[in-house]
A and B are shown apart, each in its own frame.
Chain A
Amino acid sequence: MQSLILRTATRILVSMILVFSVYLLLRGHNATGGGFAAALVAGTGFSLYTMVEGSAAVRRGIRIDPRGLIAAGMAVALVSGLIGLFAGEPFLTGMWCTLSLFGGKEVALGTPLFFDMGVFAIVLGMILTLILSLEEN
């Protein structure tokens, strides 16, 4: 698309959308958000970018094939489940550890976050696969 306004706005918008998507992913455990919603947001951003700059630009930007993203997400989700299994608990049991940050703040880090990242990667991979294939067809 040749609209200068759209192109300029897209640059700014897409970067903000992607940052917002990561924010949704990370806050999901305690507030509205989560891997699925974050992936949808990111997918919307990439769709916008695809329409404006074309699919080749998106492929250059993400570097890996979106189908690889699906596979990687599946691997992350499964491994996050296996961690519980190796600790002697049933498959997919959440395992937690507490990290101490500077200033005495403590953050709980657990396998469900990795599982959610797996969900994120799979859903985003699926959206990108479809959008890019349709656009190139």
Chain B
Amino acid sequence: MERVARASSLLPLSIFLGAVFLVPHTAAGEAYRWVYPWIPGLGVNLSFLLDGLSVLFALIISGVGFFVTLYAVDYLHGHRHTGRFFLFLHLFMLSMLGLVSADNVLALFVFWELTTIFSYLLIGFEHESAESRKSARQALLVTGAGGLALLVGFLLLGIAAGTYEISRMVPMAASLQEHPFYGAILAMLLLGAFTKSAQFPFHFWLPNAMAAPTPVSAFLHSATMVKAGIYLLARFHPVLSGSAAWTATLILVGAATAVMGAFTALGQSDLKKILAYTTVSALGIMTMFLGGQLAPSLMAAMTFLLVHAIYKSALFLVAGIIDYQTGTRQLEKLSGLARSMPVTALGAFAACFSMAGFPLFFGFVGKEIMYKGALAETMMPNLTASAAVLANGLMTAVAGIFLIGPFLTGPARHGEPGAEACGSMCSGPLILGGIGIFFGIVPEFVGSYLVSPAVASFHAHMERVKLELFHGINTPLVLSAVTLSLGAILYLSRKRVNRAVCRSYQAIGLDGSRVYDRVIEGVAAVGRLQNRLLQNGSLHRYFAVVVASFVLLTGYSYLSGVQALPDIGAPGLATRQWLLLLVLLAAVGAVVVTRSVLLAICALGVVGAGIAMIFLAHGAPDLALTQLLVETLTVIIVSVILLRLPGLGGAGRKSRARKSFDAALALSVGALMTTLALAMLSSPLDRSVTAFYEQSSYLAAHGRNIVNVILVDFRSLDTLGEIIVVATAGLAGFALIHRRRGRS
């Protein structure tokens, strides 16, 4: 199994190499498009577009996917469900790749939902832990609700644009923005993006999703899935941006998320929670910059996307190694790790310095372009810049917390057992950290091959913006210096800051998580209420409700005169038919009167058999046969069940009112059914369908029994549905019977 899992890393690796091969082409502005018709009648195609943006995402997804796969083989060593894990992981990766390359909004939606489902399965991977199940369900419900909003948005967009292909919507941007649906489309798409990318106030699911195994957190919840919302905002930037609503919403929500996430990260003690909240903050920064209209802002968003994916996945892998080797992720329990695990520490150093944004690391380049972008905008430049400085300063402090406490100070408490992790686990953070340094040294190269092509694919009129190591002494550089000093100050006063943060949270009292809990409790309460009212376990009540609604709703059309009563003349029946009728009536009478279970069952069987006789007399042998057989089996099964029950004596104890209600209900159903049957007889039969089957049954389907030919050939899809119902009913009955046995 482990060998298979290790070999499966070839899948992300080959996709990564394929994407690398495409880089020179997309950098030259080329884009590749394939279309496979899927449901052409509805305009749904599996169309894929590979441009700079898709390739940048594909590189991140497959690159991080490769390291995570190798890492997870050792991380899950000896786990019972290794095979399942890698299946989910790779299927997730493929859905994510589909998401970032789909050009049809409905195909994109399908991939979007697939990532939600695999995220649910992976968060709940340790399904025996209640916390893990709860977190998985929370992530599913929050992102799933957003997904539904997204579908509504996509459908409205499709109606407004007349096409579901994104590449054909882009030229229509101006007319789409004046369309009356624009407001609704924007709101729905943003809801989808904000829930997926954990924006305030929907961010709470992401820290809880840390219940997933660490490789999953590194892959889904830092580098890829949570970036799907960012991808959506970037992809639809040319279609929907430009309005004040777009800019204001993205900047305000993004800034709030960035600052709030970073402040919360400061007070966490679990390594993974720290990383989760800084991820929330980073996603906020990206959202905020996608609110911008000019190339520098968008460059900043895409550069930071890459910066963050590289350092954050490395840090998650480091957190996983620490957890795996020492058995804890609690900050206060860790110390002196630089000595006991030097290789991991090296990776952690590189990633943390990138996160803090020190010069010569890729994070520095990302921060510079951020400040440049913020200041170039016309709308709220100061707010964006100050939110970015504050969030970056906080992240610098968090990088300090992550690095200094566990790695640099104190004795190597956990030095002895197993010291360093094995090669394939360490290589991930080490190589990702190395890439962070390499990209930091050659930013021009990264800018022109990866980031600019990505921005150019959603921002056509692209003035040249270069990523540079040194821009000269200007405002961004000053802001960078301010950020680093702010980070140092925040680090030193972290305890005081954290207390203030906690107090202000309590003062505000606004908490998405609590709202979520309220909603879930509300749904459960409604469920209990309707259970008490409608499904209280009394078979009598179920039957009475169904039958009474039938009588009232159908009978109303007769009583109100909408439907004329059929002409009830004397039915011209032969003597034998009258006899049959008498037998049936006698049997029904016996069912009602008798106290003996066996007699009641047998009398019911007589009624059924009598009806079969009527079918037979009117030339429907198949129907008669089936009716007779079903009746026989029913008698057998019901007697097996009822003969073990205490008898029908209970019926005698019912109150008089209840009995007369039942009788009235039964009589009115009978009267109504008789009326309906007579009404049906009084209208002429349409024989065209019958004629078709009579003609083509033998010619087209080699069968002379029309009933059977219809069942297994002409309408076999219906039959398939019915046998699925039969199979399910059988299994459900089995479960019910065995559940009872388990209880007693």
Q: Mark interface residues in A71-85 (1 if CB within 8 Å of B CB, else 0).
A: 001100110010000
Instruction: Indicate if the CB atoms of B640 and A29 lie closer than 8 Å.
Output: no
Residues of B within 8 A of A135 (CB): 640
Instruction: Indicate if the CB atoms of B705 and A31 lie closer than 8 Å.
Output: yes
Within 8 A of A (CB), among B254-282: none
Instruction: Indicate if the CB atoms of A73 and B711 lie closer than 8 Å.
Output: no
Instruction: Indicate if the CB atoms of B707 and A34 lie closer than 8 Å.
Output: yes
B624 to chain A minimum Cβ distance, whole angstroms, is 9
Instruction: Indicate if the CB atoms of B709 and A118 lie closer than 8 Å.
Output: no
Most chain B beta carbons < 10 A, residue from A29, A134, A135 = A29
Residues on B facing A (Cβ under 8 Å): 621-622, 625-626, 629-630, 632-633, 636-637, 640-641, 701-705, 707-709, 711-713, 716-717, 719-720, 723-724, 726-727, 729-731, 733-734, 737-738, 740-741
Instruction: Indicate if the CB atoms of B708 and A33 lie closer than 8 Å.
Output: yes
What's the interface size class on A, roughly?
35 or more
Instruction: Indicate if the CB atoms of B702 and A108 lie closer than 8 Å.
Output: yes
Q: Mark interface residues in A118-137 (1 if CB within 8 Å of B CB, else 0).
A: 11001101110111011101
A16 to chain B minimum Cβ distance, whole angstroms, is 16
Residues of A within 8 A of B737 (CB): 130, 133-134, 137
Instruction: Indicate if the CB atoms of B726 and A28 lie closer than 8 Å.
Output: no
Q: Mark interface residues in A90-124 (1 if CB within 8 Å of B CB, else 0).
A: 01101010000000000010101101101100110
Besides A32-B625, A44-B629, 12 other CB < 8 A contacts?
A29-B704, A29-B712, A33-B625, A36-B626, A47-B637, A73-B727, A92-B717, A94-B702, A94-B716, A118-B723, A122-B723, A123-B723
In the docked arrangement, what's the CA distance between A40 and B629, Å? 6
Residues of A within 8 A of B709 (CB): 29, 112
30 contacts between A and B (CB under 8 A): A29-B704, A29-B709, A30-B703, A31-B704, A31-B705, A32-B622, A36-B626, A36-B711, A40-B629, A43-B633, A47-B636, A70-B731, A74-B724, A77-B723, A81-B716, A92-B716, A92-B717, A92-B720, A94-B702, A110-B701, A112-B716, A115-B713, A115-B716, A116-B711, A122-B730, A125-B727, A126-B733, A131-B637, A133-B733, A134-B637
Instruction: Indicate if the CB atoms of A126 and B730 lie closer than 8 Å.
Output: yes
Instruction: Indicate if the CB atoms of A29 and B636 lie closer than 8 Å.
Output: no
Residues on A facing B (Cβ under 8 Å): 28-37, 40-41, 43-44, 47, 67, 70, 73-74, 77-78, 81, 91-92, 94, 96, 108, 110, 112-113, 115-116, 118-119, 122-123, 125-127, 129-131, 133-135, 137
Residues of A within 8 A of B724 (CB): 74
B602 to chain A minimum Cβ distance, whole angstroms, is 15
A51 to chain B minimum Cβ distance, whole angstroms, is 8
Residues of B within 8 A of A73 (CB): 723, 727
In the docked arrangement, what's the CA distance between A115 and B309, Å? 52
In the docked arrangement, what's the CA distance between A67 and B728, Å? 10
In the docked arrangement, what's the CA distance between A112 and B698, Å? 13
In the docked arrangement, what's the CA distance between A29 and B700, Å? 13
Residues of A within 8 A of B633 (CB): 40, 43-44, 47, 127
Known contacts A134-B637, A137-B737; A30 and B727 CB within 8 A of each other: no
Contact of B719 among A31, A32, A119, A131 (CB under 8 A): A119
Contact of B730 among A91, A129, A134 (CB under 8 A): A129
Most chain A beta carbons < 10 A, residue from B703, B723, B729 = B723
Instruction: Indicate if the CB atoms of A70 and B727 lie closer than 8 Å.
Output: yes
Most chain B beta carbons < 10 A, residue from A31, A36, A73, A131 = A36
A42 to chain B minimum Cβ distance, whole angstroms, is 10
In the docked arrangement, what's the CA distance between A131 and B634, Å? 11
In the docked arrangement, what's the CA distance between A73 and B622, Å? 22
In the docked arrangement, what's the CA distance between A123 and B713, Å? 18
In the docked arrangement, what's the CA distance between A94 and B714, Å? 9
Known contacts A115-B712, A116-B712; A37 and B629 CB within 8 A of each other: yes
Known contacts A37-B625, A73-B723, A133-B733; A112 and B705 CB within 8 A of each other: no
Instruction: Indicate if the CB atoms of A44 and B637 lie closer than 8 Å.
Output: no
Instruction: Indicate if the CB atoms of B730 and A41 lie closer than 8 Å.
Output: no
Query: Closest residue to A120 on the B side, CB-wise?
Result: B723
In the docked arrangement, what's the CA distance between A34 and B719, Å? 12
Instruction: Indicate if the CB atoms of B708 and A28 lie closer than 8 Å.
Output: yes
Most chain B beta carbons < 10 A, residue from A78, A94, A131 = A94
A95 to chain B minimum Cβ distance, whole angstroms, is 11
Residues of A within 8 A of B733 (CB): 126, 129-130, 133
A55 to chain B minimum Cβ distance, whole angstroms, is 11
Residues of B within 8 A of A81 (CB): 716, 720
A120 to chain B minimum Cβ distance, whole angstroms, is 10
Instruction: Indicate if the CB atoms of B708 and A29 lie closer than 8 Å.
Output: yes
Instruction: Indicate if the CB atoms of B734 and A129 lie closer than 8 Å.
Output: yes
Instruction: Indicate if the CB atoms of A129 and B711 lie closer than 8 Å.
Output: no
Instruction: Indicate if the CB atoms of B720 and A77 lie closer than 8 Å.
Output: yes
In the docked arrangement, what's the CA distance between A91 and B713, Å? 11
Residues of A within 8 A of B726 (CB): 122-123, 126
Query: Closest residue to A71 on the B side, CB-wise?
Result: B727
B642 to chain A minimum Cβ distance, whole angstroms, is 11
B658 to chain A minimum Cβ distance, whole angstroms, is 30
Residues of A within 8 A of B723 (CB): 73-74, 77, 118-119, 122-123
Query: Closest residue to A66 on the B side, CB-wise?
Result: B730
Known contacts A73-B723, A112-B701; A67 and B731 CB within 8 A of each other: yes
In the docked arrangement, what's the CA distance between A21 and B729, Å? 23
Residues of A within 8 A of B707 (CB): 34
Instruction: Indicate if the CB atoms of B712 and A126 lie closer than 8 Å.
Output: no
Most chain A beta carbons < 10 A, residue from B632, B712, B724 = B712
Contact of A129 among B621, B717, B731 (CB under 8 A): B731
